[in-house]
Chains A and B, each alone.
Chain A
Amino acid sequence: MADDRRSLIRWLLGGGFTASVLSFLYPAIRFMNPPRIPEAAVNEVSAGKADELKPNTAKIVRFGSRPVLLIRVGEEEWKAFGAVCTHLNCTVQYRPDGHDIWCACHNGIYDLNGRVIAGPPPRPLEEYAVRIRDGEIVIARRA
């Protein structure tokens, strides 16, 4: 009888202690998880005047919170890709000498269609559509 009572008290104490620890930990763990902040969906951005970017040059443009690499390949040819390397998240750049897209972090190289041609990136870059509207460059998500 005394043993039964003792084991019940031990169980209650142990269970109560565990429950209280869990009740402290749960809000702490939830607190550490950053809340998701909704972002306004961006489908199109203006990237400045077309005549400001010379052929065989590039620049990085903000597309919402993400960088996009805009390349003026020739007089009439424009390309745009998500500028985040698919390997480990570094921001890529255009190399006018090699006519390719290069990630300096781990030497990943993409061609001007965004395909991986050398180095460790596992996937191609995401391509965006580029249009010139009244002399203004417009970059848009591909359908």
Chain B
Amino acid sequence: MLSVETRQRAASWLDERLGLTAIGEFLRHKAVPVHSATIWYYFGGITLFLFVIQVLTGILLLLYYRPTPTEAFESVQFIMTRVEFGWLVRSIHSWAANLMILTAFIHMFSVVFLHAYRRPRELTWLSGIVLLGLALAFGFSGYLLPWNTVAYFATKVGTDIAASLPGIGPPLARFLRGGDEVGGATLTRFFGFHVAVLPGLTTLVLLVHLALVQKHGISVPPKVEQESRRRGVPIPQMPFFPNFFLRELMAWYGALGVLGSLAAIFPWELGVKADPFAPAPAGIRPEWYFLAEFYTLKLLPSHVWIFEGELLALIGFTLLAVFWALLPFWATNRQGEIRTRLVTGAGVALLAYLSTFSALGYWR
């Protein structure tokens, strides 16, 4: 057992080199507002936690996975049937991916409905939108890796949507596919994107996002602010460390419980190996987070006026994404006030579109 004096000397040695006192001081002064909507503050942290799980299980899967059309499916099959706990690691990886996208969406909509995007947090919102885009790119690229039928056709459709962009579309699709058709080159590229490019980019943007959250502190909803001003009472706060931190840890623990249960009770299926010369099977559909777009594409006729339906859909999706990404800028009027009703209405409309079309895409 180390003596008190030795421990103090070790602490002071580390403090001199790492500035621990300053970090401790910073944590002591960091506070989280407490009000009826505080629960929504946990979802960003849960998303981060699920990302860490993705990285860890992804590293484990890398030990056995082989990214070629002749070996990819068999290597995942090998992981699931021969490697000890392989089925669990792969199931956790797949379930965590889906839960991460779900919690990222919850986080995004909570930011919208609590109006946390407003000045000076516009860049925090934009970096969050980029992170959501990266999470979807992770989902799309990872989906192909087991090289099963559903993934194969999802990639054909996804890259063909990119190809329908005027001008840049065909070279972009060739870049994504590594050739003219979805094949071995696509699998190699998607593997590279999934395990190197996207993790690198995500880590960078995540650091920016967290630094911005750190810089601006946690936002208080305008209603809570107004109420506090009206009553002349300051908004109650809890220290970030240890109070909020320990609650966040409990939330992570809860998320881990849900994830572990889902992964163990409903192991992620592998499906049938992709065959480029087999027809797309009946009932084929993408992952739930692309269902709304999938159903929209299904509904649109071949031509609307002079436009092909798929091009029109692509233009619509792009405009919607740009409009949504620029939310903090159109949410404020010339007087610098937030148009809360307009933003809430837009949020409800988007949520209604996504949930209704996803449900229709799933069941019809």
> Residue of B at shortest CB range from A105?
B280
Q: Is the CB of A105 within 8 A of B157?
A: yes
User: How far, in Å, is A127 (CB) from chain B's closest CB?
Assistant: 18
A107 in contact (CB, < 8 A) = yes
Q: A34-B178, A65-B181 are in contact. Are A89 and B157 (CB under 8 A)?
A: yes
Which of B156, B181, B279 lies in contact with A88, CB distance below 8 A? B156
Q: Is the CB of A121 within 8 A of B302?
A: yes
Residues in B with CB closer than 8 Å to A28 are none
Q: Is the CB of B280 within 8 A of A62?
A: no
State A92–B302 Cα separation when bound (angstroms): 16
A103 in contact (CB, < 8 A) = yes
A55 in contact (CB, < 8 A) = no
Which of B161, B175, B281, B299 lies in contact with A104, CB distance below 8 A? B281
User: How far, in Å, is B181 (CB) from chain A's closest CB?
Assistant: 7
State A130–B298 Cα separation when bound (angstroms): 32
Q: Is the CB of B157 within 8 A of A90?
A: yes
Q: How large is the interface on A (under 10, 10 to 19, 20 to 34, 35 or more residues)?
A: 20 to 34
> Residue of B at shortest CB range from A84?
B156
State A84–B277 Cα separation when bound (angstroms): 10
Residues in B with CB closer than 8 Å to A107 are 298
Residues in A with CB closer than 8 Å to B159 are 89
Which of B157, B174, B278, B298 lies in contact with A33, CB distance below 8 A? B174
The A interface is mostly helix, strand or loop, or mixed, namely loop
Contact residues, A62-89 vs B (CB, 8 A): 62, 65, 67, 69, 83, 87-89
Q: Is the CB of B156 within 8 A of A89?
A: yes
Q: Is the CB of A88 within 8 A of B160?
A: yes
Q: A60-B277, A60-B278, A106-B298 are in contact. Are A34 and B185 (CB under 8 A)?
A: yes
Q: Is the CB of A120 within 8 A of B301?
A: yes
Chain A positions 37 through 75: 1 when the CB is less than 8 Å from some CB of chain B, otherwise 0: 100000000000000000000001010010101000000
Contact residues, B291-342 vs A (CB, 8 A): 294, 297-303, 308-310
> Residue of B at shortest CB range from A67?
B277
Query: Of residues B159, B185, B308, which shows the largest number of chain A Cβ atoms within 10 Å of its Cβ?
Result: B308
Q: Is the CB of B284 within 8 A of A120?
A: no
State A37–B156 Cα separation when bound (angstroms): 20
Q: A34-B178, A120-B310, A122-B308 are in contact. Are A92 and B279 (CB under 8 A)?
A: yes
A-B contact count (CB 8 A): 82
Residues in A with CB closer than 8 Å to B156 are 88-90
Contact residues, A98-137 vs B (CB, 8 A): 103-107, 116, 119-123
Q: Is the CB of B302 within 8 A of A122?
A: yes
Q: A34-B179, A88-B160 are in contact. Are A93 and B280 (CB under 8 A)?
A: yes
B239 in contact (CB, < 8 A) = no
Q: Is the CB of A104 within 8 A of B279?
A: yes
Which of A62, A89, A105, A122 lies in contact with B284, CB distance below 8 A? A105
User: How far, in Å, is B234 (CB) from chain A's closest CB?
Assistant: 51
Q: Is the CB of A91 within 8 A of B280?
A: yes
Residues in B with CB closer than 8 Å to A104 are 279-284
Q: A87-B310, A104-B284 are in contact. Are A122 and B303 (CB under 8 A)?
A: yes
State A107–B179 Cα separation when bound (angstroms): 27
User: How far, in Å, is B188 (CB) from chain A's closest CB?
Assistant: 11
B153 in contact (CB, < 8 A) = yes
> Residue of A at shortest CB range from B276?
A67
A143 in contact (CB, < 8 A) = no
Residues in A with CB closer than 8 Å to B282 are 104
A1 in contact (CB, < 8 A) = no
Q: A33-B171, A34-B175, A122-B302 are in contact. Are A91 and B279 (CB under 8 A)?
A: yes
A32 in contact (CB, < 8 A) = yes
Residues in B with CB closer than 8 Å to A87 are 297, 302, 309-310
Residues in A with CB closer than 8 Å to B171 are 33
Q: Is the CB of A122 within 8 A of B179?
A: no
**Given A90-B153, A90-B284, A93-B279, 4 more contacts at CB 8 Å?**
A89-B160, A91-B279, A93-B280, A106-B297
6 CB < 8 A contacts A-B: A33-B175, A60-B277, A65-B181, A89-B159, A91-B277, A122-B309
